Amino acid sequence: KAGVTQTPRYLIKTRGQQVTLSCSPISGHRSVSWYQQTPGQGLQFLFEYFSETQRNKGNFPGRFSGRQFSNSRSEMNVSTLELGDSALYLCASSLVASGKTDTQYFGPGTRLTVL
Amino acid sequence: AQKITQTQPGMFVQEKEAVTLDCTYDTSDPSYGLFWYKQPSSGEMIFLIYQGSYDQQNATEGRYSLNFQKARKSANLVISASQLGDSAMYFCAMRRGSTLGRLYFGRGTQLTVWP
């Protein structure tokens, strides 16, 4: 079974631009979560989606948004990019099934550099 | 508030030796899950092991075992027979409840295995 895939893997943007990152979960997984990882702040939670609904949102400004589609694929968008948005963006998917441990499996990440 | 503490920024171990990576957590929830992930320099977070708060026995997965001491709120990862490929960043994480929900991460421990 294929793992979580994220596209693109690397991205270079300039300040003020916007960017869209994509995440395809493991087949059958219904929940997708997004995390931002930086050397200074560590791993920070962005969003959690389940059945196309945002269930949780981290403490990020409104420039960060996301959505989940009916096939469980997810996208996140960052508008008006700032230098501080440079980070590794990790997507994780989980099965969400009664009686099963709900483990989040991560993709390889998208490394975003803002110049 | 949920909090994960990893007090060892870096650890060194010789090949074939065992090593323990420390993790303490803080939560007032009776139901929670504890996870360990490995992150090589490539960036992908690899799931290693899970322990539920109601599990009576310590979790084991191959060379990985979790030393769960509920009263002390600690969930240390033990890696037996270390291999050079174990060199990576290791993160302890916690989730409230048994399903869905964001992960709270520690700052990580950089493990270096030397020959």
Measured CB to CB, residues of chain B less than 8 Å from chain A are: 33, 35, 37, 42-47, 50, 52, 91, 95, 98-105, 107-108
pLDDT of B1-59, one tens digit each?
Answer: 789 999 999 999 999 999 999 999 999 999 999 999 999 999 999 999 999 999 999 99
CA distance B89 to chain A (A): 12
- Write down the number of H helices and E strands in chain A: 0, 11
- Write the pLDDT tens digit of every residue in A10-40: 999 999 999 999 999 999 999 999 999 999 9
| Cα–Cα distance measured from residue B25 to residue B35, given in angstroms and rounded to the nearest whole number | 11
Among the partner residues A48, A88, A104, nearest to B43 by beta-carbon distance: A88
Residue A37 and residue B105: Cα distance in Å, rounded?
11
pLDDT band at residue B61 using 50, 70 and 90 as cut-offs: very high
Q: What is the pLDDT of residues A46-97, one digit of tens each?
A: 999 999 999 999 999 999 999 999 999 999 999 999 999 999 999 999 988 7
Q: Which of B45, B98, B101 sits opposite A106 (nearest CB)?
A: B45
Give the minimum alpha-carbon distance from B50 to chain A in angstroms, rounded to a whole number.
8
Q: Do B45 and A90 touch (CB under 8 A)?
A: yes
HSE at residue A114, side-chain half, CA atoms within 13 A, is: 18
Q: What share of chain B is helix, strand, coil (3-state, %, to 5)?
A: 5, 50, 45
